[in-house]
Amino acid sequence: MPPTEDARTYAPSRPRGPYAKSAVTRQRIIEAATAVFSVHGYLAGSTTEIAERAGLSGAQVFYYFPDKTAILQAVLANRDRIADEIAGPIPENAAEIPEAILRIARNNESAPGFIRLYSILVAEASSPEHPGKEYFRDRYRRLRMRFDSVFAAMEKQGLLAPGVDSTYAATSTLAIWDGLQLQWLLEPEAVNVASQLGRHLGLITRSA
Amino acid sequence: MPPTEDARTYAPSRPRGPYAKSAVTRQRIIEAATAVFSVHGYLAGSTTEIAERAGLSGAQVFYYFPDKTAILQAVLANRDRIADEIAGPIPENAAEIPEAILRIARNNESAPGFIRLYSILVAEASSPEHPGKEYFRDRYRRLRMRFDSVFAAMEKQGLLAPGVDSTYAATSTLAIWDGLQLQWLLEPEAVNVASQLGRHLGLITRSA
C-alpha cells in the first residue's frame, strides 16, 4: 500500500484542535504498546504498563481501543505503514524487486525491539489458544500472496533461477527472512540479515 | 551425539528400585513441562501446572530440578536426544547429508507442540531481560557450527552449488527451517516444511 493512501485514511483533512490531539494520543498509546510488547510479548504485556508509559489512565487507553487485541492490531498496522513507506511502491521494473526487499531488511536493523516483538507475537500466535491466531494466519497469507505476485512479475520476465517458481520464491524468502532475524536477535554480531537475505535472493533469481 | 552414549549417561547400569523410579519421575516432569510450555511458552508456563500435570507437588518437582530454567534445559536436552536418534550418526557419505536433515524435518511434523514451544522459546529468549538468552544464543552458535561442519564435508567434495560456502549453507538452512516451521504452525495446510526445505537444499547443493 503506497504511503500517501494511508496518510489520507488516517488524517483526511489535516485535523486541528481536539481531533488532532486525539490522533496524537492514539499514536502515543501505539508507541507505548510497541515498547511494552517488545519486551514482554503480547500475552505477558500488560495494558496497565502501556497506560503508565503513555502517561494515561487505563480507562483513557480503553477509550481509544476497545481491547488489547485492538492495540496489537494498531501496533502492527503502524509498523506496516512504516515498512511500506521505506519500501516505496512496487518497482515497475521487476529486476529492482530484490533491492526493494533488501531496503526493508536493512531498515529493520534499526528496530530490533520491533523485530523481537514481531517474532514473539508470531510464535505466541501459533498456539491454539491464542486470540491472535487467525489474525496472524491471515497476515502470513496476505504476505505470501503479495510476495508471490511480485515474484510472478519476475518469473514472467525470466528473472527467476531455473527450477524456482514464484510460490517457492515467496515462501522461502519470507521464511529465511524470519529465521535470519531470529538468529540476529540472539546474536547480532553473528548474522547480517540483509547480506544473507541478499545471497538467498541471488540464488533464486537471475539478472536480466 | 549417538543415542547409545546418551543412554549410558542417563542409566549407567540398568538401574532398578528407587533409582529407576526416580528416573521415571524425572522423565514424567519433563513430559509435563513440554506440554505446559508448548501451550503457554516458558515465561507464562507455571511450575504449579507442570507439577499438577505430572501428578506431583511443587516441592517434589523442585526436588528433581533446582529451578524452572533447569526444567527448560532438560526439556530441550530430551528433545535433542530424540532428534539425534532420528537423524542417526552424521552420514559418512557427504552426499547423504541433505537426506539426514530432511528426516528430522519430516519427523518434526508429528510434534507441532514441541515446534511451537521451541519457536516461542527462541523468540522470548531474544528479549534482553530473558534468563534463557545466553542459553539460546549458545545453542544457535553450536547449531550453526555443527551444520557448518557437515556442509564443509560437502563443500570439500564439490557438492555445494557455485557461490555457496559452508557458512552460508549452515546459516540459511537453519533460518529457512525456522521460518518455514513458523508458517506451518500458523497454517499447516499452506506450507510443507520438508518439501520446501528440500527445495532449498537442492538449490544450495549439487549432486555428485
Answer yes or no: do A178 and B178 touch at CB < 8 A: yes
Contact list in B for residue A124 (CB cut-off 8 A) is 41, 120, 123
What does pTM read for this prediction? 0.81
Q: Are residue A57 and residue A135 in the same domain, yes or no?
A: no
Contact list in B for residue A125 (CB cut-off 8 A) is 186
**Residue listed under C-alpha cell 557450527:** B145
Instruction: Measure B105 CA to nearest chain A CA, in Å.
Output: 15
Answer yes or no: do A183 and B174 touch at CB < 8 A: yes
Give B61: exposed, middle or buried? Use CB within 10 Å, 0-12, 13-18, 19+: buried
Domain boundary pick from B31, B53, B87: B87
What does the block give as the cell for B66? 533446582
Give A42: exposed, middle or buried? Use CB within 10 Å, 0-12, 13-18, 19+: buried
Model confidence pLDDT, tens digit, residues B137-185: 888 999 899 999 999 999 999 999 999 999 999 999 999 999 999 999 8
Least confident range from B4-13, B33-42, B81-90: namely B4-13
- Which of B193, B203, B204, B207 to substitute to test the interface with A, most A CBs within 10 Å? B203
pLDDT for A176 beyond 60: yes
Candidate from A136, A183, A190 with C-beta closest to B186? A136
Domain boundary pick from B87, B109, B143: B87
If you average pLDDT over every residue of chain A, what do you get?
85
**Residue listed under C-alpha cell 487505563:** A58
Amino acid in position B186: L
What radius of gyration do chain A's Cα atoms show?
Answer: 19
What does the block give as the cell for B183? 508458517
What per-residue string of b and e applies to B134-151 under the rule 16 or more CB within 10 Å gives b?
ebbbebbeebbeebbebb
Instruction: Measure A12 CA to nearest chain B CA, in Å.
Output: 35
Q: Are residue B123 and residue B159 in the same domain, yes or no?
A: yes
Q: Are residue A113 and residue A70 in the same domain, yes or no?
A: no
Instruction: Measure A176 CA to nearest chain B CA, in Å.
Output: 4
**Residue listed under C-alpha cell 555443527:** B146
Domain boundary pick from A71, A87, A103: A87
Contact B120, B39 (CB under 8 A): no
Contact B173, B198 (CB under 8 A): no
Candidate from B44, B116, B144 with C-beta closest to A43? B44
Q: Are residue A115 and residue A201 in the same domain, yes or no?
A: yes
Sorted by sequence, the CB contacts under 8 Å of residue B119 that are 6+ apart come out as A122, A123, A126, B178, B181, B182, B185
Element (H, E) at B13: none
- The total domain count for chain B is 2
Domain that holds residue B58: 1-87
Q: Are residue B114 and residue B68 in the same domain, yes or no?
A: no
Q: Are residue B59 and residue B129 in the same domain, yes or no?
A: no
Q: What is the reported pLDDT for A114?
A: 79
Angle formed at CA B91 by CA B85 and CA B93, multiple of 5 degrees:
165
Q: What is the reported pLDDT for B108?
A: 86
Q: What is the reported pLDDT for A7?
A: 36
Q: What is the reported pLDDT for A135?
A: 81
Q: Are residue A83 and residue A109 in the same domain, yes or no?
A: no
Answer yes or no: do A137 and B199 touch at CB < 8 A: no
Q: HSE (CB half, 13 Å, CA atoms) of A204?
A: 27
Q: Are residue B45 and residue B82 in the same domain, yes or no?
A: yes
Q: Are residue B178 and residue B144 in the same domain, yes or no?
A: yes
Average pLDDT over residues B60-73: 92
Q: What is the reported pLDDT for A11?
A: 40
If you average pLDDT over every residue of chain B, what do you get?
85
Output the domain CATH number for residue A112.
Answer: 1.10.357
Q: What is the DSSP string of B29-87?
A: HHHHHHHHHHHHHHHH--HHHHHHHHT--HHHHHHH-SSHHHHHHHHHHHHHHHHHHHH
3-class SS at B90?
coil
Q: Are residue B80 and residue B157 in the same domain, yes or no?
A: no
- Which of A183, A197, A200, A207 to substitute to test the interface with B, most B CBs within 10 Å? A183
Candidate from B43, B163, B171 with C-beta closest to A183? B171
Amino acid in position B29: I
Angle separating helix axes A112-125 and B166-186, nearest 10 degrees:
50
Least confident range from A136-140, B31-35, B143-147, B171-175: namely A136-140
More confident: A81 or A63: A63
Contact list in A for residue B123 (CB cut-off 8 A) is 41, 116, 119-120, 122-124, 182, 185
* Cβ atoms < 10 Å from Cβ of A30: 22
Q: Are residue A27 and residue A99 in the same domain, yes or no?
A: no
- Which of B121, B122, B148 to substitute to test the interface with A, most A CBs within 10 Å? B122
Contact B114, B181 (CB under 8 A): no
What does the block give as the cell for A49? 504498563
Model confidence pLDDT, tens digit, residues B94-119: 899 999 899 989 988 887 877 887 88
Residue B142's nearest CA partner among A183, A123, A185 is: A183
Output the domain CATH number for residue A57.
Answer: 1.10.10.60
Least confident range from A140-149, A161-170, B7-16, B46-55: namely B7-16
Q: Are residue A73 and residue A105 in the same domain, yes or no?
A: no
What does the block give as the cell for B148? 557448518
Candidate from B40, B125, B191 with C-beta closest to A171? B191
What does the block give as the cell for B150? 557437515
> How far is residue A169's CA from residue B156's CA, in Å, rounded to a whole number?
28
**Residue listed under C-alpha cell 488489547:** A68
ipTM: 0.80
